[in-house]
Amino acid sequence: MTLNAFLFQVLNGLSSASGLFLIAAGLSLIFGVTRIVNLAHGSLYMLGTYIAYSFATKLGGAFGFWGGILATALIVGVIGALIEVVLLRRIYRAPELFQLLATFALVLVINDAALWLWGPSDLLGPRAPGFRGAIEVLGRRLPSYDLLLIVIGPLVLLLLHVILARTRFGRLVRAATQDREMVGALGVNQAILFTSVFALGAALAGLGGALQIAREPANLAMDLTALGDAFVVVVVGGMGSIPGAYLAAVIIAEVKALCVGIGVVDFGFVTINFSKFTLVAEFLVMAIVLIARPYGLLGKAQAAVRSIAEPEEPIRPATPLLKALGVAIFALLLCLPLLAQGSPYLLVLGIDVLIAVIFAASLHFIMGPGGMHSFGHAAYFGLGAYGAALLAKWLGVPFGIALVAAPLLALAGALLFGWFAVRLSGVYLAMLTLAFAQIVWAAVFQWEGFTGGSNGVIGVWPPPPFDRSWVFFLLTLIIAAAAVLLLRRFLFAPFGYAMRAGRDSTLRAEAIGIDVKRVHWLGFAIAGCVCGVAGGLFAFAKGSISPETIHINRSIDGLVMVLLGGVQTLTGPIVGASVFAMLQDTVMRQTEYWRALMGAIILVLVLAFPQGIAGAIGSLWRKLGGRA
């Protein structure tokens, strides 16, 4: 690459950085004041693009375009304010896991709303009036619109800085970011402050999205892509730091642009196409920053989270009643193939449920006793599923070995990602795990030659006798039972206790010699490994695997299963996964708008059933005088 080409890519990177900055700044601002990580921030960004598209095409002309962009920022700001008033205000005091889930429910609802309003196809906006041309820079043509974007980023940064530094509103925002309780105690009207901050953050996201219409088409996948990028930027820049967000946006965008610019390089023995590695590069930047500065480049260590979770009962070995119930259910399931002779669908449903049980139990392992709220458990499912499928497809590896390899691959991934994840806690950990999962998903999606890209891998069928669904069902049943019992055994062993001790109080656990990071890392690895088993089974059960199946939605499904069952009980994930998988296979198949339905379920769950099903039954049981 020549120097000129290099500088050109630097300019290119700067123009992408502006969009990244706008969305990350809003996310950071909202988190700083309300302590809520708004997972729907990418959705607001996506709405921005769609709304601006409508303005630009329906009104048309310079007014429709430029006026539309400003109007969009306002509209999205109002939507943000509505979200804050109607939903978030109810959950400021809820455990942060619930806040994350509630905002994710919004992601689903907004996505379906966009599908309903604008339809499924990509919509490319018109070119920007007044900025249609390109400017000769360093012997290449740079679209003048990109030049405008380069200017807008620092301009917004400056504007935000002035607002924060000079106005009363800005002072309140800074004060609340430092100590929310104190600001409340001083008599500041928090309701108005929170609503206006949320509106401002949303408007920034809307503006960022709106500015994209001349560069990329509006599409329904934008919300999560933008969210993943924003997370990386915020984690790198430091939560709550606006200049940090800009710095990180520039770094990330530059690294990506340079990867594209470098393109294909022949090292003699191997040829590497760097433009396929933009996401890996993003991950590397984040990893390096997190090792050197765990709270981001310009971020500060988070104040201790004032935990307001429900107190948890000590774990007790299964009562005879529970054991008998477990054996009875297992026996019943063993007989299912006989009962299901008339309806083969029952076995398919059974396999789905069992795979969901393994998935949820492994997630619960780190989420409940480990206290690590992973928002990216699908990564290990995907590593297992793709590992098994690709081994079978490319190397013709036998079924049994592929099934064993699946958890091993997932284990390797969990060891790698977990090493970083256990260094963080709370929302940082949630964001990092989500970003990792996005990277796995994107790698699968981008690496078309190897993984089949969006088409996935097809024709992965198990050999006889496992090609019969009843045999495969029994295999899945036995593996699922073994996985659940094994995880349970671990939880009652010293390791499980140490993991809970580290969650209950890291400080105290360290003070009695427990290496909390190592214990949690091992827990993370075990959970990933077991999750890989579920992935391997899934690939062979379906005969195919596509990026869709390891999408972030699967990670969230897992969280919903665990919460549905109750995070504080050991049987919770089993109950939750079963109920959820059955719901998904029956009710949700009936409607095109299953995402919105799912979002509604999550919202009801979060607002009405904070303990989950098993948890609710448990406390009811205790209230009635029994001993659960």
Contact residues for other proteins (CB under 8 A)?
311-315, 317, 489-490, 492-498, 500-501, 503-505, 507-515, 518-519, 522
| Identity of the amino acid at 403 | L
* Phi/psi at 265 (5° precision): -120, 130
Name the minimum Å distance from CB 287 to other proteins: 23
Going 508 to 559 to 97 to 427, the CA torsion angle's sign is positive
Give the Cα separation of 217 and 207 in Å (integer). Answer: 15
* Phi/psi at 134 (5° precision): -135, 155
DSSP output for 187-205: T--HHHHHHHHHHHHHHHH
β-bridge pairing 271-273 and 457-458: unpaired
Name the minimum Å distance from CB 318 to other proteins: 12
Name the minimum Å distance from CB 561 to other proteins: 21
If the CB atoms of residues 242 and 498 are measured against other proteins, the closer one turns out to be: 498
Tokens (6 digits) for 477: 């049943």
If the CB atoms of residues 120 and 311 are measured against other proteins, the closer one turns out to be: 311
Tokens (6 digits) for 31: 């988190």
If the CB atoms of residues 274 and 497 are measured against other proteins, the closer one turns out to be: 497
Q: Give the distance from CA 39 to its chain's centroid.
A: 8
If the CB atoms of residues 500 and 595 are measured against other proteins, the closer one turns out to be: 500
If the CB atoms of residues 332 and 482 are measured against other proteins, the closer one turns out to be: 482
Other Cβ atoms within 10 Å of 187 Cβ, number: 7
If the CB atoms of residues 395 and 482 are measured against other proteins, the closer one turns out to be: 482
Name the minimum Å distance from CB 177 to other proteins: 20
Name the minimum Å distance from CB 512 to other proteins: 4
Name the minimum Å distance from CB 405 to other proteins: 22
* Phi/psi at 201 (5° precision): -60, -45
Name the minimum Å distance from CB 531 to other proteins: 17
Name the minimum Å distance from CB 419 to other proteins: 16
If the CB atoms of residues 371 and 426 are measured against other proteins, the closer one turns out to be: 371
- Which residues in 225-236 are b (16+ Cβ under 10 Å) and which e? bbbbbbbbbbbb
- Residue labelled with tokens 């992935």: 535
Name the minimum Å distance from CB 503 to other proteins: 8
If the CB atoms of residues 312 and 585 are measured against other proteins, the closer one turns out to be: 312
Tokens (6 digits) for 511: 């003070």
Cα dihedral value 278, 282, 288, 290, nearest 10: -170
Gap between the terminal Cα atoms of the chain? 68
Name the minimum Å distance from CB 562 to other proteins: 17
Give the Cα separation of 198 and 194 in Å (integer). Answer: 6
Name the minimum Å distance from CB 513 to other proteins: 4
Give the Cα separation of 28 and 418 in Å (integer). Answer: 24
Give the Cα separation of 290 and 446 in Å (integer). Answer: 25
If the CB atoms of residues 65 and 490 are measured against other proteins, the closer one turns out to be: 490
Tokens (6 digits) for 385: 């599923």
Give the Cα separation of 567 and 560 in Å (integer). Answer: 10
| Identity of the amino acid at 58 | K
Give the Cα separation of 290 and 305 in Å (integer). Answer: 20
If the CB atoms of residues 122 and 310 are measured against other proteins, the closer one turns out to be: 310
Instruction: Compute the C-alpha angle 456/344/469, nearest 5°.
Output: 55
- Residue labelled with tokens 């190592």: 518
If the CB atoms of residues 292 and 304 are measured against other proteins, the closer one turns out to be: 304
Give the Cα separation of 99 and 240 in Å (integer). Answer: 18
Name the minimum Å distance from CB 487 to other proteins: 10
If the CB atoms of residues 304 and 331 are measured against other proteins, the closer one turns out to be: 304
